[in-house]
């Protein structure tokens, strides 16, 4: 009897790794790490950019055409901050939408009329003047002989620009009593200021102020008006000696005692001061326009203030 053939069955077990033992988590983790790195990169960019740059970037994503000149439908420049910008390689920009004049720039008058450009100009000037104030503070802090300046001067950014106000102190007057002769230590600080202000394009106004005490018994031939004007001009000359050009000055004004710093005590010596105003672009343009309007063109009084009645004679 033949032995029956025995059937041999071979079982092959295919081993599969469980999901938590595979490599899919590595891909997820890599995506997370990449997103985290991009997040920190965005935080770094936000921290390192200026307010002006943030505003320009935000404005571009809100409306890419908003920063372009009216009618051209776009701009070939990465960032237009006035002046003569640099051309960049065209990357898909429709050049037919760009004006033929490739050297586009923003005129000051356009900045005044366009609210967005005016805001850009304002932020740009604040940044510039804040930098100048920081440099002045560094110069004062680094020179022991300028310690008096910290107690006698205030610097602040105003709507007109950077205001540098130097006030007379009892132990540190700016000028000799009743004279426009400037003290040597005051002249030295103005020389240092001139070296910093020389790097700015802004025009400068200088104002002289006195207290309300009468200048002297000279029959009114020389009053606080003349004294304040002479002191303002002396400050201008000191700035010129420090390197500022003649053309950098917008106006030199003697205010007399008309605007006391201490309103409750106009006779106090603390009202004697010199104010150096570094004008921003908009303030400079307003000053020019106002002078041109008032002195060259003139202006008629409002019609509702005119009367047909005969005015009385004044003797």
What pLDDT score does 164 carry? Answer: 94
What pLDDT score does 188 carry? Answer: 92
Instruction: Order across the sheet with 153-157: list the strands.
Output: 153-157, 161-167, 273-279, 204-209, 249-254
**Residues 191, 269: Cα–Cα separation, whole Å:** 24
Say what the pTM is. Answer: 0.60
Query: Which stretches in the chain have pLDDT values below 70?
Result: 1-5, 13-22, 51-52, 55-56, 59-60, 62-114, 297-315
Domain residue spans of the chain: 143-297
With 0-12 CB in 10 A as exposed, 13-18 as middle and 19+ as buried, what is 281? buried
237 touches 182 (CB < 8 A)? no
**Residues 277, 282: Cα–Cα separation, whole Å:** 13
**143-297 topology per CATH:** 60s Ribosomal Protein L30; Chain: A; (3.30.1330)
The residue to which tokens 């007109």 are assigned: 160
Per residue in 175-213, is it b (16+ CB within 10 Å) or e — as a string? beeeebebeeebbbbbebbbebbeebebbbbbbbbbbee
Which of 218, 210, 226 has its CA nearest to residue 177? 210
155 touches 136 (CB < 8 A)? yes
Q: Pairing between strand 204-209 and 249-254?
A: parallel
CA distances 108 to 61, 77, 79, Å, are 25, 19, 17
């Amino acid at each position: 009897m033949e032995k029956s053939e025995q059937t041999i069955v071979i079982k092959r077990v295919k081993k599969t790794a469980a999901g938590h033992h595979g490599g899919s988590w590595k891909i997820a983790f890599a995506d997370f790490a990449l997103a985290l790195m991009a997040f920190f990169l965005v935080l770094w960019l936000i921290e390192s950019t200026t307010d002006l740059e943030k505003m320009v970037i935000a404005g571009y994503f809100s409306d890419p055409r908003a920063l372009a000149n009216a009618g051209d439908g776009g701009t070939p420049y990465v960032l237009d901050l006035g002046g003569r910008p640099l051309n960049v390689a065209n990357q898909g920009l429709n050049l037919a939408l760009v004006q033929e004049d490739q050297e586009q720039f923003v005129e000051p008058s356009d900045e005044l009329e366009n609210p967005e450009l005016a805001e850009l100009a304002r932020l740009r000037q604040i940044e510039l003047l804040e930098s100048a104030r920081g440099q002045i503070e560094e110069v004062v802090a680094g020179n022991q002989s300028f310690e008096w300046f910290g107690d006698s001067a205030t610097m602040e950014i105003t709507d007109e620009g950077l205001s540098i106000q130097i006030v007379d102190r009892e132990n540190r007057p700016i000028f000799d009593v009743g004279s426009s002769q400037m003290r040597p230590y005051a002249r030295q600080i103005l020389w240092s200021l001139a070296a910093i202000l020389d790097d700015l394009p802004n025009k400068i106004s200088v104002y002289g102020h006195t207290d309300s005490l009468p200048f002297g018994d000279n029959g009114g031939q020389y009053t606080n008006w003349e004294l304040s004007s002479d002191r303002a001009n002396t400050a201008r000359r000191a700035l010129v000696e420090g390197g500022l050009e003649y053309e950098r000055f917008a106006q030199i004004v003697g205010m007399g005692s008309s605007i006391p710093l201490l309103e409750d005590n106009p006779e106090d010596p603390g009202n004697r001061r010199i104010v150096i105003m570094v004008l921003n672009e908009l303030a400079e343009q307003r000053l020019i326009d106002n002078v041109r309007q008032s002195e060259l063109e003139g202006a008629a009084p409002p019609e509702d203030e005119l009367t047909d009645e005969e005015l009385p004679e004044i003797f």
